[in-house]
Amino acid sequence: MSDSGVSNPKGSGVADAGANADSMVRQRTVPTSNDQSCSQAHNGVLASDEKQSCEQGASQQCSLHLWSKKALLNRKDIPKHLQFNPYIETGYRPLLSVWGCLMSLFYFHNETINIITHGVPMLYILLWWRTLLPWSEITVPILPWTHLVSTVSPWVGSTIYHLFMNHRAGETCYKSLLHLDMFGIWITQSFGALTTVYASVSCLSSSWIWRVLAVYCIVSLWCLYKDFLAVLGGFVGALRVPEKWVPGRLDLLANSHHIMHVVVVYAVYHLHQGAVLDLVWLSGNTTCQLADTKNIM
């Protein structure tokens, strides 16, 4: 009798046991291939039939690792609108929902430093704004609030942009977030200096003061479009140093955008220090009064 015609219950049992054991192991771990397929499916890279296969065969793995560092991608795996720095090769988040973007705060990726360096100043200003100015010494109206709005605006726009830039709504959402980021920068550039401008013309007559401030605000509005293009051009055409010298080595820390974030925070800090001095001086200003008295005499 041929061996091929005889069944082997014992061997089949051993095989089944081995298969069950292997299945249990697979349920407790997520293979690299499944991680990659899951990330690609959520990133919109796979075709529809492949995506459906991924969702059916690896839905549990996707739910386990969609918001973890295991879902991070290489630059070639993300949409074109997120591939703006050719020297940052790894650490990209896949396209995520709002909740997924928020959950990315709890693992490290190549936008983590950008979010922290501007998110922390934003929270500090929003929570401790009462301590940022010597309110008891300031009697000038409106300007203190204008200054606070100017100092917090770039951090709000930047934090939202970097946190949600990989939203699954795609390029349209990304461009809207970029516009918000640029608008926050424009507010700081234009109205952050309003206190200093007012201090510079405070000894003029009130009619001239309002004329100067009106011209300054109109020019600021006119420059909004040009400021946007200038900042966007600087963003796109930046030198990207030092990551340009060591591609892939500074993906998560100390690349040019991280350095720029720290430098900008330092610059706005000095803007704030100067504005505090101007506000205190304006509140106790006697120089203009003495000048008016001499003119009358």
Number of domains composing the chain? 2
pLDDT of residue 225: 52
Domain region containing 265: 111-296
Tokens 């030198």 correspond to what residue?
239
- Categorize the per-residue pLDDT at 32 as very low, low, confident or very high, splitting at 50, 70 and 90: very low
**pLDDT tens track for 97-144:** 999 999 999 999 999 999 999 999 999 999 999 999 999 999 999 999
Question: Does residue 102 form part of some domain?
Answer: no
Report which of 180, 182, 141 is spatially closest to residue 160, judged by C-alpha positions.
180
217-256 per-residue burial string, b: 16 or more CB within 10 A, e: under 16: eeebeeeeeebbeebeeeeeeeebeebeeeeeebbbeebb
Residues 234 and 166 in one domain: yes
Token output for 121: 């100043």
Residues 54 and 118 in one domain: no
Residues 45 and 183 in one domain: no
pLDDT of residue 198: 87
Residues 45 and 149 in one domain: no
DSSP string for residues in 103-138: HGGGS--TTHHHHHHHHHHHHHHHHSGGGTS-GGG-
Token output for 41: 């499916």
Q: Which residue has the higher pLDDT, 287 or 153?
A: 153
pTM exceeding 0.85: no
The mean of the pLDDT values for the chain is 76
Give me the helix-helix angle, 256-283 and 112-127, nearest 10°: 20
- Categorize the per-residue pLDDT at 205 as very low, low, confident or very high, splitting at 50, 70 and 90: confident
Q: Which amino acid is at 55?
A: E
In the predicted structure, residue 58 carries a pLDDT above the cut 60: no
Q: Which residue has the higher pLDDT, 1 or 177?
A: 177
pLDDT of residue 286: 64
Q: Which residue has the higher pLDDT, 32 or 218?
A: 218
Tokens 């949409």 correspond to what residue?
79
H or E element at residue 82: none
Residues 69 and 119 in one domain: no
Residues 205 and 144 in one domain: yes
Report which of 253, 256, 249 is spatially closest to residue 234, judged by C-alpha positions.
256
Question: Does residue 8 form part of some domain?
Answer: yes
pLDDT of residue 22: 45
- Categorize the per-residue pLDDT at 254 as very low, low, confident or very high, splitting at 50, 70 and 90: confident
In the predicted structure, residue 202 carries a pLDDT above the cut 70: yes
Question: Does residue 289 form part of some domain?
Answer: yes
Question: Does residue 94 form part of some domain?
Answer: no
Centroid of chain to Cα 293: 53
Token output for 249: 């080595």
Residues 222 and 115 in one domain: yes
- Categorize the per-residue pLDDT at 287 as very low, low, confident or very high, splitting at 50, 70 and 90: low
Tokens 């061997």 correspond to what residue?
11
